[in-house]
Structure 1
Amino acid sequence: MTDTSTNMRLKLPVICFILEIILIILFGVLVEYDHDTDSKLFNKHNNHHNHSDAENEFYYRYPSFQDVHVMIFIGFGFLMTFLQRYGFSSVGFNFLIAAFALQWATLMQGFFHGMHDGSKIHIGVTSMINADFCTGSVLISFGAVLGKTSPVQLLVMAVFEVTLFAVNEFILLTVLGTRDAGGSMTIHTFGAYFGLMVTRVLYRPNLSKSKHKNCSVYHSDLFAMIGTIYLWMFWPSFNSAITELGDAQHRTAMNTYYSLAACTLSTYGMSALTAHDGKLDMVHIQNAALAGGVAAGTAGEMMLTPFGSMIVGFLAGIISVLGFKYLSPILEEKLRIQDTCGVHNLHGMPGVLGAIVGAVTASVATKDVYGNGLHKVFPDVADGSRSAMYQGGMQALSLAITLGMALIGGLIVGFILKVPLLGAASDAACFEDSIYWEVPGEEPDHEEQMTVVKTEESEKLSA
């Protein structure tokens, strides 16, 4: 057995140290606190406008930030622990990628959104939330390639994906004036289809050698449900974290809340309807029950109404379960897309649904429906610079642009990740923690495998 990815003694430290040193230098040169964070600027701003410390944006945004942060590190991390011998890697690599991506995202998003006077990136609690959003998109892609990539490959993927995410986000939100508060397009659709294209390029024709490890056991599914519950609980905060304060933020949280509840019931119903002997499938419950949060992302801040958000969630649950049951096998067999976590079913299709709902809802927005609050959700429509139908058209165009950038970007990055130097587990060693981790209480056969690998590596070096 030969496995180049096991030699991480130099590869992983080199890329970790180099990336972090670059980040530290760039932060030192380009980044500074914003007016709500810098002591001198904050006091000057307060004295001029007669504001108090309690009006610092931190106090309005930090609770939402903390909820989003929990979703990124616990929610996503534990959701991917369903593989029986890949729990260390699921949580551990999630931790590694997220810690890097949030720093890189602060810079990339800052280049487009946060630079003032063309010199410095000003950061505060809102930039922290946005960086976490970008990180979430990378972790969605991680789910598609879970178990088949080395930590070095994952960090390289994050470098490029964060950059492309920031470009796509800038085009949609700034250039086109698209509304996407909860990121159905910018986060979920982009992350899912980027990851699907990467895993397509990295297709392994002999992955069947690891098929016996590409499955769950009782306790691993239970750990994955921890991630599901955390994500489900905090999703209203995720979608509403950066919306306008007041009624728009309140509405976003409420629409997401009811969408998730309706989605959960449709998920249970469809799972029992499609699974063997009418029994529930834990894969469906872990994933499809969250699809309502994804689908409510774009239209969450709009006047979707509780009734409308429940319909969206109900449909999202059905679509997601059907995707897991029928579409995933087809994608793998016909299109050679080996989607480990089924991100197409949880993030891809519900993300597209959310984008479509957002476009339709935007196209019928009127002042009669929104009142004076129209300027919070659709400022361009409120000031008469564009019609509601035009806004809806921009929303639809944004979905097409996102899909294009995700697919083309994933294609290019997939080929970059095939460089042998980056290391990748052999087909027989996929979905296996012991390739990268010191695993306590290893079974004898795994110890023997590692001994063989180390011996072969030593022989290569001596030769």
Structure 2
Amino acid sequence: MSSKYPRSVRCCLPLCALTLEAALILLFYFFTHYDASLEDQKGLVASYQVGRDLTVMAAIGFGFLTSSFRRHSWSSVAFNLFMLALGVQWAILLDGFLSQFPPGKVVITLFSIRLATTSALSVLISAGAVLGYVNLVQLVVMVLVEVTALGTMRMVISNIFNTDYHMNMMHIYLFTACFGVTVAWCLPKPLPEGTEDKDQIATIPSLSAMLGALFLWMFWPSFNSALLRSPIERKNAVFNTYYAVAVSVVTAISGSSLAHPQGKISMSYMHNAVLAGGVAVGTSCHLITSPWLAMVLGLVAGLISIGGAKYLPGCCNRVLGIHDSSVMHYTFSLLGLLGEITCIVLLVLHTVWNGNGMIGFQVLVSIGEFSLATTIALTSGLLTGLLLNLKIWKAPHAAKYFDDQVFWKFPHLAVGF
């Protein structure tokens, strides 16, 4: 019988992380420089504000959203910040190298920082499916592979289908969900007997998770509009996302009450369902020209999120053999699919109204983008899951899943542990 004592990463983590950081510093030294152009001051301030909103979403929003576990709240917040910091650095370099041929010096602008932050957000979403099962060394591997896969996906789709930054990045919802669920499928599935309560939600951490959801709710319009160039499209994206998330909050509370026999509201349902409208409207937010359609999407998305959280966990555990600890795929995979379908329908209607006559071609292009993004996500997720199963990463023992004490220093007689 194997030992239940946690495997120490004292040597492995510092060696891996600091060596990687030193390599990144050298790459920045030799291959990057700041943009020397004089930007309009008003545009510069507006661009910085959007980047700041994305950073708040990533560091506080997603950091606290996954902190609701009874004995894994410290790790959830700190590990998210670690992945964000590492992912942004690698994404800036990768996006710069992939966007120019032949390779040369990478010019760092505020837009490139926004793009890198958005890429790093993909890892935070996917990691919600594996937090509690993995250590920081494994998360380093996951960050590098997923950011690389996402950047490659965007480059391939852009070259084949000639799509812009926004449409490329809005595949992020479905991409991250497929990637995270595939990685979780490759990891050891069931919790050991006697440890099932570790992934349960506690009252105070659940309130912290709701705080993270509130930050995400406030700044989701910035996320959906961050990579749009046209002022009209940015305005549409902000307005439509605002209405969609507003309706999804009302739907989340009402649907949660409806799903309970005594009509009580579940905080665990609320964490993700309040964001459902922002996810569903993301792909098509710049195409919608009337608020009612965004509100309908928010309503449908909220109902799907509540229904998925209530009825799908048992199905996923039994049929697919996965344990999505943060139920991220109910928020992002199903709603990302809804968003993709909505975008295809709107593009078809736009083609019909303009009398273009290219409906079939437009549908094929949209389905091709969607299929390619999903294929790359599943393939890279499978590769990452197999890599994370290697023993060299010193993964936590199954008896120590969802346990902060594996990674953190606590007082000798810590109450509650």
TM-score category, normalised to shorter length = over 0.9
Q: TM-score, normalised by structure 2?
A: 0.94
- From 31, 41, 53, the counterpart of 1:54: 41
Is 1:324 aligned with 2:297? no
Q: 1:276 to 1:427 in 2, by over 3 A?
A: farther
What is the correspondence of 1:60-71 to structure 2 with a 5 Å cutoff?
A: 60-71=46-57
What is the correspondence of 1:395-414 to structure 2 with a 5 Å cutoff?
A: 395-414=366-385
Give, in whole Å, the separation in 2 of the partners of 1:63 and 1:144: 30
What is the correspondence of 1:103-114 to structure 2 with a 5 Å cutoff?
A: 103-113=89-99
Q: 1:221: Cα distance to partner? A: 0.6
- Structure 1 equivalent of residue 197 of structure 2: 212
Give, in whole Å, the separation in 2 of the partners of 1:146 and 1:183: 27
> What SS does structure 1 have at the residue aligned with 2:195?
helix
Give, in whole Å, the separation in 2 of the partners of 1:206 and 1:237: 38
Give, in whole Å, the separation in 2 of the partners of 1:184 and 1:244: 13
What is the correspondence of 1:215-234 to structure 2 with a 5 Å cutoff?
A: 215-234=200-219
Q: 1:240 to 1:389 in 2, by over 3 A?
A: farther
Residues 6 and 400 in structure 2, CA contact (< 8 A), matched pair in contact too: no
Give, in whole Å, the separation in 1 of the partners of 2:289 and 2:5: 52
| Rg larger for | 1
- Structure 2 equivalent of residue 173 of structure 1: 158
Residues 68 and 129 in structure 1, CA contact (< 8 A), matched pair in contact too: yes
- Structure 2 equivalent of residue 8 of structure 1: 9
How many residues in Structure 1 have an aligned counterpart in Structure 2? 416
* Alignment-mate amino acid for residue 27 of structure 2: L
Give, in whole Å, the separation in 1 of the partners of 2:65 and 2:236: 27
Q: 1:135 to 1:151 in 2, by over 3 A?
A: same
* Alignment-mate amino acid for residue 287 of structure 1: N
Q: 1:392: Cα distance to partner? A: 3.8
- Structure 2 equivalent of residue 261 of structure 1: 246
Residues 251 and 300 in structure 1, CA contact (< 8 A), matched pair in contact too: yes
* Alignment-mate amino acid for residue 325 of structure 1: K
Q: 1:32: Cα distance to partner? A: 1.7
Moved over 6 A (4+): none
Give, in whole Å, the separation in 2 of the partners of 1:149 and 1:97: 13
Is 1:359 aligned with 2:330? no
Give, in whole Å, the separation in 2 of the partners of 1:4 and 1:419: 18
Q: 1:137 to 1:20 in 2, by over 3 A?
A: same
- Structure 1 equivalent of residue 387 of structure 2: 416
Q: 1:442: Cα distance to partner? A: 4.5
What is the correspondence of 1:37-436 to structure 2 with a 5 Å cutoff?
A: 38=36, 42=37, 53-54=40-41, 57-113=43-99, 115=100, 118-178=103-163, 181=166, 185-365=170-350, 387=358, 389-436=360-407
Give, in whole Å, the separation in 2 of the partners of 1:198 and 1:281: 28
Is 1:23 aligned with 2:24? yes
Q: For each residue in 1:85-132, what CA deviation from the matched residue of structure 2 results, as whole angstroms up to 9, or x when unmatched?
A: 11110000001111000001111111222x376312112011111111
> What SS does structure 2 have at the residue aligned with 1:365?
helix
Give, in whole Å, the separation in 2 of the partners of 1:415 and 1:204: 14
Residues 62 and 125 in structure 1, CA contact (< 8 A), matched pair in contact too: yes
Over the aligned positions, Cα root-mean-square deviation in angstroms equals: 2.3
* Alignment-mate amino acid for residue 278 of structure 1: G
Q: Percent identity?
A: 33
Structure 2: 5+ residue stretches without partners: none
Q: 1:408 to 1:223 in 2, by over 3 A?
A: same
